[in-house]
Amino acid sequence: MSISRRKFLGWLGAAGMGTALGSTANAASNKHFSGYPDSVGVLHDISRCVGCRSCEAACNKVNELPPPDQPFTDLSVLDTKRRTTPEAHTVVNKHELAKTPVFNKIQCNHCLEPACASACFVSAFKKTAEGPVSYDASVCVGCRYCMVACPFEVPTYEYNKAFTPRVMKCTMCYPRIMEGKLPGCVEVCPKEALTFGKRDDLLKVARKRIEKHPDRYIDHIYGEKEMGGTSWLYLSDVPFADIGMREDLGVTSAPQLTAGALSGVPLVVGLWPVLLTGIYAMTKRKEKISQEETAEAVSLAIAETEEKGAEKLSAALKKAEKDKDMAIQKEVKKALEEVKKTFEEARTQEETQEEQKEEKA
Amino acid sequence: MSEESAVVTGKKPFVPGKSLLTPFNIIAGIIVIVGLFITVLRFTKGLGTVTNLDDNYPWGIWIGFDLLAGVALAAGGYVTSAAVYIFGMKRFHSAVRPAILTGFLGYALVVFALHYDVGRAWRLPYPFIMQQGTTSLLFEVAACVALYLTVLFIECTPAPLEWLGFKKARNIAVKLTMLLTIFGVVLSTLHQSSLGALFLLAPSKLHPLWYSGYLPVFFFVSSIIAGLSMVIFESTLSHHYFADKMDETHMNEKEGVALGFGKAASLVLAGYFSIKVIGIAVDNNWHYLATGYGAWFLVELIGFIALPCLLYAVGVREKNLTLIKWTSGLAVLGIIINRLNVCLIAFNWHLPSEDKYFPHWMEIGISVFIVTVGILVFRFVVTRMPILYEHPDYKDSH
Ligand code: SF4
Ligand code: SF4
Ligand code: SF4
């Protein structure tokens, strides 16, 4: 298969144009969002958490989740690392560090620009203006892309339900908040490790605590910037990485991660047909040219044959004429000779008769 | 098995005397029975009964193999029709119909497999009819796959229409060829790349050697390789099993198709290799190569990209069709491994090994079942319709 130079350059040009345009479009679509004004959140002060599991119990109660295998008062479950499950929107994990054990509570962080919402192809997840990230089970298809996307490994799925499986995650007790109540876990926490309030105020509270006890706290509010920021914030007296909270998530929000790929769509839709039709037209034109060339060659060949044919014909005619002439001449000659012969024969006869007459006389 | 043979008897009246209990039919029959059994379990007991999926691994082999690899391997349709109709490589014309047919079957099976995977299959049209999640790359994938399946369906219709003798309808469908081809290339570009872009959202979960801003480009370019290789792979298989169905054109062009597509695949593999390397360089991920995941990455890069690239080149230069055949298998395997790497093996690389996913035998069972159904339908179609040969009434009509 030989690709002609012209065709190859055509493809190359087409490819180059696509990539060049792609990069400008990516740059143009970056946007920033720093949360709805006055939206609420929760601050979890890890240094105050004692691992009593009261929040787990409260969450189970207010969300009417099925009772656990082991009662919430059984603290031995803390010995194994756990994650959220369809039956538990929140779990507390124990980390045995040098001094004392440290506890942290896991639940949905209610991201400002949630990856789960970016991922969902039916928009089942929404960041509400109030702060919580809500989920609508009535449209959820169950593709579980939200779970792949969530950087905090929060959403879970009811794999064991055949007909009505749902994605399960903490709602920040959205219904309770709307009634003016505190989230179940916040309300019950005996150590005030959890504080509910406007996110902006919580950030101030956190900063003040760090200022007041710089020796106690790590100088970092987890969730202020992580993955574009979250509504659930954390303060800690040990490095976050030591208690299983990832510090390598970066500050890029989910929509920014996919903006480039999404902006490629209109480009492909707009440019591909034009390019492809162009290439098609080029191919067609070449084909046409080559067809024309073939046609020309064919007609030339035909013309040549015709000419030759004509020549041959006339030659044949000529030859025929010549033959005819020759034949006539031959006939004439033959005739003449015959005449001559007869004439001579006649003469000889005459002569003989005369001789005979002379003899008689 | 009895069901299977019953089905075949009903539909295969024209091979009298030939026993249906061939080893192939028996194995296919068993697979189909087991598949149906798991299907019943899946839809009555839920995903938890038949899969090893959990909250860390919401996607298993039904996504990694059936969706991601399946869509890539079904790329032969758009690659071949683009080569023939847009780039004017008429000498590959006989490859178009089988490629389009496998493309259509491939996509149909992908959509079929998705019904097993999603939690509420009957809601699959919801993204279009209830709420559009336009920020989602999965929405784009869903929309493109749905549209492309329709395009492939129309592209496929000439064969059954010829078979049934509907001349007018067949001619209309053929007239649309150019338009459908362009439409198909646009849609394929979009969803092939978007399947890779799905993972852009998870930079913290996918190993840095596989995560890259170029993921959509990697997926798109490798789909071309998969498409080209599948056409070669399939044509050798068809040649082996359906040689009696092939006409002279198909036989004559077959060698040219293998050489031409092999050469193209070699070139694209070379390009793919370089952008993969550029991908590491851009993110400066060289140090990961010295780890266990790095070794596995190198296996993929050298063994399944560089090696087939080289073997294709050698095979084409020496006109060694056997080598090209085997290389196409290697390249196809490489693409499958790549998709499994991105979706499963290098995914959640930060988790301890006891939390990693390994498919339940019933998940594998369903994947095998679906591939088998594909082969059975392919066999049904090519033994009846003008796929590997031209219908006598429509010769020279393209
Ligand atoms: S933590 Fe996860 S589930 Fe919660 S809002 Fe963020 S992305 Fe969504
Ligand atoms: S599982 Fe449901 S909520 Fe999650 S992305 Fe899919 S459709 Fe949306
Ligand atoms: S906010 Fe409500 S749902 Fe979330 S962890 Fe607390 S109690 Fe549970």
B10 CA: distance to closest CA in chain A (Å): 34
Beta strands A167-168 and A194-198, pairing class: unpaired
Query: What is the pLDDT confidence band of residue B236, given thresholds at 50, 70 and 90?
Result: confident
The single residue listed with the structure tokens 């009819």 is B129
Q: Which of B136, B285, B316 is most worth mutating to test chain A (most A CB atoms within 10 A of its CB)?
A: B136
Query: What is the pLDDT confidence band of residue B98, given thresholds at 50, 70 and 90?
Result: confident
Determine, for residues A254 and B201 on separate chains, whether the beta-carbon distance falls below 8 Å: yes
At B19 the pLDDT is 67
- Lowest mean pLDDT of A97-101, A233-237, B9-13, name the range: B9-13
Q: b/e for A197-220, b at 16 or more Cβ within 10 A?
A: eebeebbebbeebbeeeeeebbeb
CA of residue A185 to ligand 3 center, whole Å: 6
Interface ipTM: 0.88
pLDDT in tens, A226-255: 999 999 999 999 999 989 899 888 888 888
Residue whose CA is at the smallest distance from ligand 3 atom 8: A59
pLDDT in tens, B179-214: 889 889 999 999 999 999 999 999 999 999 999 989
- Say if residues B98 and B227 touch (Cβ distance below 8 Å): no
The count of domains in chain B is 1
CA of residue A102 to ligand 3 center, whole Å: 21
Is a pLDDT exceeding 70 seen at residue A190? Answer: yes
Q: What is the distance between the alpha carbons of residues B70 and B62, in angstroms, rounded to a whole number?
A: 10
- The mean predicted confidence, pLDDT, of chain B is 88
- Average pLDDT of the residues in B367-396: 85
At A2 the pLDDT is 42
At B8 the pLDDT is 40
Return all residues near B169 (Cβ < 8 A) that are at least 6 apart: B157, B161
Q: Which ligand ends up closest to the CA of A89?
A: 3
- Average pLDDT of the residues in B372-378: 91
CA of residue A17 to ligand 2 center, whole Å: 36
Q: Which ligand ends up closest to the CA of A107?
A: 3
Query: What is the pLDDT confidence band of residue B171, given thresholds at 50, 70 and 90?
Result: confident
At A358 the pLDDT is 61
Is a pLDDT exceeding 50 seen at residue A22? Answer: no
Q: In terms of pLDDT, which residue wins out, A152 or A256?
A: A152
Q: Which helix (H) or strand (E) holds A334?
A: helix A254-360
Three-state DSSP state, A193: coil
Q: In terms of pLDDT, which residue wins out, A47 or A353?
A: A47
A260 CA: distance to closest CA in chain B (Å): 9
Residues of B in contact with A162 (CB under 8 A): 43-46
pLDDT > 70: what percent of chain A?
83
Query: What is the pLDDT confidence band of residue A15, given thresholds at 50, 70 and 90?
Result: very low
Residue of A257, A261, A280 with shortest CB distance to B194: A261
pLDDT in tens, A274-293: 888 888 877 777 777 777 77
- Say if residues A55 and A199 touch (Cβ distance below 8 Å): no
Is a pLDDT exceeding 50 seen at residue A177? Answer: yes
Determine, for residues B200 and A141 on separate chains, whether the beta-carbon distance falls below 8 Å: no
The single residue listed with the structure tokens 């792609």 is A22
At A361 the pLDDT is 53
- Say if residues B118 and A141 touch (Cβ distance below 8 Å): yes
At A14 the pLDDT is 42
Atom of ligand 2 nearest to the CA of A143: 6
Report the residue of chain A nearest B122, measured CA to CA.
Answer: A141
Q: Is the dihedral of CA A113, A116, A118, A121 positive or negative?
A: negative
Atom of ligand 3 nearest to the CA of A184: 7
At B228 the pLDDT is 93
pLDDT > 90: what percent of chain A?
49
Is a pLDDT exceeding 70 seen at residue B31? Answer: yes
The single residue listed with the structure tokens 């890259």 is B212
Residues of A in contact with B119 (CB under 8 A): 140-144, 157-158, 165
Query: What is the pLDDT confidence band of residue A19, given thresholds at 50, 70 and 90?
Result: very low
Q: What is the distance between the alpha carbons of residues B260 and A155, in angstroms, rounded to a whole number?
A: 49
Provide φ and ψ at A44, rounded to 5°. -105, 115
Query: What is the pLDDT confidence band of residue B248, given thresholds at 50, 70 and 90?
Result: confident
- Lowest mean pLDDT of A59-68, B166-175, B198-207, name the range: B166-175
Q: What is the distance between the alpha carbons of residues A34 and A251, in angstroms, rounded to a whole number?
A: 12
Any domain includes B241 = yes
Is a pLDDT exceeding 60 seen at residue A49? Answer: yes
Q: Which ligand ends up closest to the CA of A41?
A: 3
Three-state DSSP state, A127: strand
At A360 the pLDDT is 59
Any domain includes B5 = no
Report the residue of chain A nearest B193, measured CA to CA.
Answer: A261
- Lowest mean pLDDT of A319-323, B192-196, B235-239, name the range: A319-323
Q: Which of A118, A122, A275 is most worth mutating to test chain B (most B CB atoms within 10 A of its CB)?
A: A122
Any domain includes B239 = yes
Any domain includes B309 = yes
**Beta strand extents in chain A (DSSP E only):** 40-45, 91-96, 101-106, 125-127, 133-135, 156-157, 167-168, 194-198, 232-235
Any domain includes B108 = yes
Tell me the two tokens of residue B275.
Answer: 């952008």
Is a pLDDT exceeding 90 seen at residue B113? Answer: yes
- Tell me the whole-structure pTM to 2 decimals: 0.82
Q: Which residues is A230 bridged to in the sheet?
A: A111
Measuring CA to CA, how many Å separate B323 from each of B198, B239, B301, B319? 35, 16, 20, 9
CA of residue A19 to ligand 3 center, whole Å: 46
* Probe target for ligand 2 pocket from A126, A143, A171, with the most ligand atoms within 8 Å of CB: A143
Determine, for residues B137 and A139 on separate chains, whether the beta-carbon distance falls below 8 Å: no
Q: Which ligand ends up closest to the CA of A131?
A: 1
* Probe target for ligand 3 pocket from A173, A174, A182, A233, with the most ligand atoms within 8 Å of CB: A173
Residue whose CA is at the smallest distance from ligand 2 atom 2: A140
CA of residue A37 to ligand 3 center, whole Å: 22
Residue of A122, A161, A264 with shortest CB distance to B46: A161
A239 CA: distance to closest CA in chain B (Å): 18
* Probe target for ligand 3 pocket from A64, A171, A176, with the most ligand atoms within 8 Å of CB: A171
- Average pLDDT of the residues in B276-299: 91
Q: Which ligand ends up closest to the CA of A177?
A: 3
Is a pLDDT exceeding 90 seen at residue A141? Answer: yes
Ligand 1 contact, A72 CB (< 6 A): no
- Segments forming the whole domain that contains residue B295: 24-389
Query: Is B135 near chain A, with CB under 8 Å?
Result: yes
CATH number, domain with residue B182: 1.20.1630.10
At A359 the pLDDT is 61
- Average pLDDT of the residues in B33-38: 94
At A356 the pLDDT is 65
Query: Is B138 near chain A, with CB under 8 Å?
Result: yes
Residue whose CA is at the smallest distance from ligand 3 atom 7: A59
Residue of A156, A277, A286 with shortest CB distance to B182: A277
Query: Is B147 near chain A, with CB under 8 Å?
Result: no
The single residue listed with the structure tokens 């690899």 is B69
Residue of A85, A122, A284 with shortest CB distance to B55: A85
**The residue type at B316:** V
The angle that helices B321-340 and B215-242 make with each other, rounded to 10 degrees, is 140
Q: What is the distance between the alpha carbons of residues A131 and B384, in angstroms, rounded to a whole number?
A: 61
Q: Which of B51, B86, B219 is most worth mutating to test chain A (most A CB atoms within 10 A of its CB)?
A: B86
Any domain includes B246 = yes
- Average pLDDT of the residues in A97-115: 91
- Ligand 2 site residues (CB inside 6 A) read A 119-120, 122, 124-125, 140-146, 167
Beta strands A232-235 and A156-157, pairing class: unpaired
How many residue pairs from chains A and B have C-beta atoms closer than 8 A? 181
Q: Which of A265, A277, A284 is most worth mutating to test chain B (most B CB atoms within 10 A of its CB)?
A: A265
Determine, for residues A143 and B118 on separate chains, whether the beta-carbon distance falls below 8 Å: yes
Is a pLDDT exceeding 70 seen at residue B323? Answer: yes
Residues 115-134 of B with CB under 8 A from A: 117-120, 123-124, 126-127, 130-133
- Ligand 3 site residues (CB inside 6 A) read A 58-59, 62-63, 89-90, 107, 170-173, 183-185
Residues of A in contact with B136 (CB under 8 A): 118-121, 145
Any domain includes B13 = no
Tell me the two tokens of residue A25.
Answer: 């479009």
Return all residues near A350 (Cβ < 8 A) that are at least 6 apart: none
Q: In terms of pLDDT, which residue wins out, A87 or A346?
A: A87
Query: What is the pLDDT confidence band of residue B3, given thresholds at 50, 70 and 90?
Result: very low
Any domain includes B396 = no
The single residue listed with the structure tokens 């991922």 is A119
- Average pLDDT of the residues in B309-324: 93
